[in-house]
Amino acid sequence: MCPRFIASCRVPLGLVFSAALVTLSLSCNVFAQNISVRKAAQAQNPTLFFAGVAGSAEMSRQVEKDLTNCGWFDLVRDSAADYAVRGQLSAQVLEIELLRGGAAVQKLRVNVAPSAMEAASRQAVDAMLKRLFDVEKLCTSVIAFCARTRPGAKEIFIADYDGSNVRQATRNATLSVEPDWGPGQKRLVYTVYGKASTNVVEYDVSSSRSRRLLSFPGLNAGAAVSPDGRFLAAILSKDGSVDLYLKSLEGAWMRRLTDDIASESSPCWSPTGGRICYVSDISGRPQLYVVNAAGGRPTRLGTMGTEAVSPDWSADNKIIYSAKMGASYALALLDLEGKIPPRAVIQAAGDWESPSWAPDNRHVVATRTFDGRSDIYVIDTWTGKARRILAGKIPFSMPAW
């Protein structure tokens, strides 16, 4: 698979299945690895002193872990920090107190079911992030991604926000790629390869049931669900060329948005659902374009590098994408509000691809291919710091937060 410009590397399909692949067993290990990168001019995190959770060393470790991994605090051992957090676990109730200058800012009570300390901790930290930064459900969010399971096969897996609790979603014994979440992370759509065509399939997380959404002859790929969950933007070749279409999720309604000799790929939706950003090589190289969902003339975006691919649109109107700079792909950011100048987020060694925004509109998850490995990292777009969350003996790719 070619994650940089996926539509142009899918045809003919036989080339995908004849590629030489190495058999490796699935083994997901979580690492913490910091990378020195260019730092953006942003406000620093507030410092936080964590006094622990009385009554449970295990709960104390979990809360400290989530306060660190959320990326919104710098934990210090100084009680004079900007904030302090202390807690107590008793009678299966977690009590957490958030303080500033010794005064209580927030008091929380979270019920703790047996063997569910992790869930209680994340619920508590999410409540603090909401109170201080208006960040919604970061620690309780999940990430879908692709992993090679055997020669010629990739399946989609789901992990918690920090790379823990990995579980397998698909078992198609073929190439299952390009996951994208619908609203509420209750279902995802993805592309599955058949012998002569590709199909877009929907997977319901709670029931583990699947259904085909797009199965026209030829290419059906790159589906992205609209913010209201009513429509798909997808790449189809049913009319003889590789173009961008809209399709109602329920029913047969469809609209063609591009009609040219170029190959389109990687659509993503604006926060309101009124526009779609996608990749096209109509200029000779892959670049980013935006078109109204109602139709009209596409507009090319001003991006960095010689190529721009795999965009994702945040809820606060920023686009993160992979930009080819020299021989490698870096992550770059374009703020459509004009509040932040266009800039590279991370240019560490290797190729950084398939970025996807976290619910906080600050962090992204992306694949880094370097030194023969493809691992998944979380990157802070404010500071440029990156932390590896999924690594193993097999390649990981195409994460979707």
The answer to whether residues 121 and 260 belong to one domain is no
Report pLDDT digits (tens) over 328-364.
999 999 999 999 899 999 989 999 999 999 999 999 9
Instruction: Give percent above pLDDT 70 in the chain.
Output: 89
The answer to whether residues 18 and 57 belong to one domain is no
Mean pLDDT computed over every residue of the chain:
90
pTM across the whole model: 0.89
The answer to whether residues 212 and 251 belong to one domain is yes
The answer to whether residues 114 and 232 belong to one domain is no
pLDDT over 90 (residue 79): no
Least reliable range by pLDDT among 10-14, 32-36, 165-169, 314-318: 10-14
pLDDT over 90 (residue 10): no
pLDDT-derived band at 43 (thresholds 50, 70, 90) equals: low
The answer to whether residues 282 and 351 belong to one domain is yes
pLDDT over 90 (residue 7): no
Report pLDDT digits (tens) over 262-280.
999 999 999 999 999 999 9
Report pLDDT digits (tens) over 198-225.
999 999 999 999 999 999 999 999 999 9
Q: Flag whether 259 is in a domain.
A: yes
Distance of CA 290 to the CA centre of its chain: 20
pLDDT-derived band at 32 (thresholds 50, 70, 90) equals: very low
pLDDT for 21: 28
Instruction: Give percent above pLDDT 90 in the chain.
Output: 85
Q: Flag whether 37 is in a domain.
A: no
Cβ–Cβ under 8 Å, residues 379 and 336: no
| Mean per-residue pLDDT, 40-62 | 88
pLDDT-derived band at 114 (thresholds 50, 70, 90) equals: confident
Domain containing 112 — which CATH number? 3.40.50.10070
The answer to whether residues 256 and 380 belong to one domain is yes
Closest-CA residue to 38 (of 373, 352, 310, 314):
352
Cβ–Cβ under 8 Å, residues 330 and 344: yes
| Mean per-residue pLDDT, 71-88 | 96
pLDDT-derived band at 25 (thresholds 50, 70, 90) equals: very low
Q: Flag whether 203 is in a domain.
A: yes
Based on the structure, what is the number of domains in the chain? 2
| Mean per-residue pLDDT, 114-128 | 95
The answer to whether residues 119 and 19 belong to one domain is no
The answer to whether residues 367 and 274 belong to one domain is yes
Q: Among residues 111, 133, 155, which one ends one of the domains?
A: 133
| Exposure class string for 332-346: b at 16+ Cβ within 10 A, else e | bbbebeeebeeebbb
pLDDT-derived band at 18 (thresholds 50, 70, 90) equals: very low
Backbone angles phi, psi at 59, to 5 degrees: -65, -35
Domain containing 367 — which CATH number? 2.120.10.30
Q: Among residues 133, 153, 176, which one ends one of the domains?
A: 133
The answer to whether residues 115 and 172 belong to one domain is no
- The rounded distance, in Å, linking the Cα atoms of 265 and 278 is 6
pLDDT over 70 (residue 26): no
| Mean per-residue pLDDT, 357-373 | 97
The answer to whether residues 287 and 166 belong to one domain is yes
- Domain region containing 79: 47-69+73-133
CB atoms under 10 Å from CB of 54, counted, come to 14
Supply 348's token pair.
Answer: 């560490």
Report pLDDT digits (tens) over 294-309.
999 999 999 999 999 9
pLDDT-derived band at 85 (thresholds 50, 70, 90) equals: very high
Q: Flag whether 38 is in a domain.
A: no
Q: Decide which of 25 and 303 is more confident.
A: 303
Q: Flag whether 263 is in a domain.
A: yes
The answer to whether residues 262 and 194 belong to one domain is yes
- The rounded distance, in Å, linking the Cα atoms of 329 and 346 is 10
The answer to whether residues 107 and 161 belong to one domain is no
Q: Flag whether 41 is in a domain.
A: no
Q: Flag whether 39 is in a domain.
A: no
Q: Among residues 115, 133, 151, which one ends one of the domains?
A: 133
Q: Flag whether 182 is in a domain.
A: yes
pLDDT for 265: 97
| Mean per-residue pLDDT, 150-161 | 96
Edge-to-edge strands of the sheet including 287-292? Answer: 264-269, 275-280, 287-292, 299-300
